[in-house]
Amino acid sequence: MQVLEDIKIIELVHMPPGELCSMILGDFGADIIKVEAVPQAGGRKLIDPGESEALKSFMAYNATNRNKKSIRLNLKSEEGKQVFYKLAREADVVIEGFRPGVAGRMGVDYATISKLNPRIVYCSLSGYGQDGPYSQNPGHDINYISIAGALNLIGWPGSPPAIPLNFLADFAGASLHGVMGILLALMARQSSGKGQFVDISYTDSVITLMTFFLQQHYAAGTKFPRGAWGLAGGYPYYQTYETSDGKRISLGCVEPWFWENLCRAIGRDDLKKFSFKPDHFMQAQPDESWRQATEEVKKVFLTKTRDEWFEILCKYDVPAGKVYEIDEVAGDPQLLHRKMLLEFDHPKLGKVRQPGIAIKLSQTPGSVRSMAPYSGENTDEVMKSLGYAKQDIESLRKANAIG
């Protein structure tokens, strides 16, 4: 048995953060029906997996849509809406990712669905939340992390902010906060018997991720100068260094004892005094002596390869990591041991890799039970499960209500 196998989810999203949110729930047994638009019904879609054979092949690697079924509905038609309502009456969760107000105009918003099913947990993922002066603004990760104050902290002194990959607002933010919000609402339903609306803002989620920095700022006025404070690469103990093979290794020697281990490992006991100081988390910026210490460490790391240094530093109990290129990740022994890179046999493509399941439960572990479906692949199957006869399905397809 899997912990969520009795939970039925309707996914009404068109971007990866919402898909990742439901993927995590699906990995632990939730029954997910992905509702996609009928192509002829209009609507905007960045990529249609049915457009080419290459995109169809990609679906085998599309981890964010694994463990799901796909049905195509025209929610602009009354017939298509009625099918959605029938799904919603049996569902536990709806996840939608439209701009605020769009679901309401289509008649599939929380106010409508909760009347059909008072136990529904309805999670909306939006850039700025369902209300407030920015709620109707379009946006992406870069915009949300800008407003939450995260972007300006990333990069090097004297340079513009470095734009990170869309980890923060999209995935660590909306996806994971969506999972937590849904699970909390399901727990609350166990005692109240009623569902509720879960309002997840990408931007709000980044503020939560900024808690450590904001608490320091409000307590001491810390502004965390870009690239110059303790955990931003301004000091030698928390830094990446180039090695003789042109690769890089990362150091995380915040604790003084780990920095001392590093100094012993590289044969530079004279650098022990350049360990972390509490004010490095506040306003202090490195002076010339600290910059020179960093330069000395740089010279040492250029004498051996990345992998040689990693082996040495592990022996000396130094927090170190190989800075991998993305094609190297799949070979890491720790990640392989933890089954974080799964491999499947695909009937046409052979061996197919996908990311594994990070949450390890001892009694009810997650699993990958099916690959991502093609858009509309399960329409007939889902319609039959709702009680529609074959002739009814054909009629609805001819009416462009389903696809």
CA distance 396 to 403: 9
Tokens of 149: 């104050």
Tokens of 180: 């937590």
- The values of phi and psi at residue 34, to 5°, are -90, 115
pLDDT for the residue 58: 84
pLDDT for the residue 205: 98
Helix (H) or strand (E) holding 214: helix 211-220
Cα–chain center distance at 205: 12
pLDDT for the residue 225: 87
- Averaged pLDDT in 10-residue chunks for the chain of 403 residues: 96 96 98 93 55 74 96 97 98 97 97 98 98 96 97 93 95 98 98 98 98 91 87 93 98 97 98 92 80 97 98 98 96 96 89 95 95 94 97 96 96
CA atoms within 13 A on the CB side of 18: 25
Q: Who contacts 300 (Cβ-Cβ below 8 Å, separation ≥6)?
A: 266, 267, 268
For residue 324, give the 3-state DSSP assignment: coil
Q: β-pairing, 8-12 with 341-346? A: unpaired
CA distance 174 to 52: 30
Cα–chain center distance at 234: 28
111 sits in the region (left: phi over 0; alpha: psi -120 to 50; else beta) called alpha
pLDDT for the residue 283: 63
Cα–chain center distance at 201: 14
What CATH number matches the domain at 238-323, 3.30.360.10, 3.30.1540.10, 3.90.79.10, 3.40.50.2000?
Answer: 3.30.1540.10
pLDDT for the residue 41: 65
CA distance 159 to 161: 6
What's 25-59 look like in SS3? HHHCCCEEEEEEECHHHCCCCCCCCCCCHHHHHHC
Query: What kind of fold does domain 8-209+344-398 have according to CATH?
Result: Rossmann fold (3.40.50)
- In order, the DSSP letters of 274-289 are S---GGGGTT----HH
CA-nearest of 358, 368, 337 to 171 is 358
CA distance 349 to 67: 19
CA distance 26 to 358: 13
pLDDT for the residue 279: 83
Report the chain's C-alpha Rg in angstroms: 25
**Helix, strand, coil in percent for the chain, rounding step 5:** 40, 15, 45
Helix (H) or strand (E) holding 198: strand 197-201
CA-nearest of 31, 64, 26 to 366 is 26
387 sits in the region (left: phi over 0; alpha: psi -120 to 50; else beta) called left
Describe the strand order of the beta sheet including 248-252 as a list of residue ranges. Answer: 238-242, 248-252, 320-323
Q: Measuring CA to CA, how many Å separate 355 from each of 27, 124, 335, 341, 343?
A: 12, 25, 10, 5, 9
Q: Where are the domains of the chain?
A: 8-209+344-398, 238-323
Tokens of 289: 């002596």
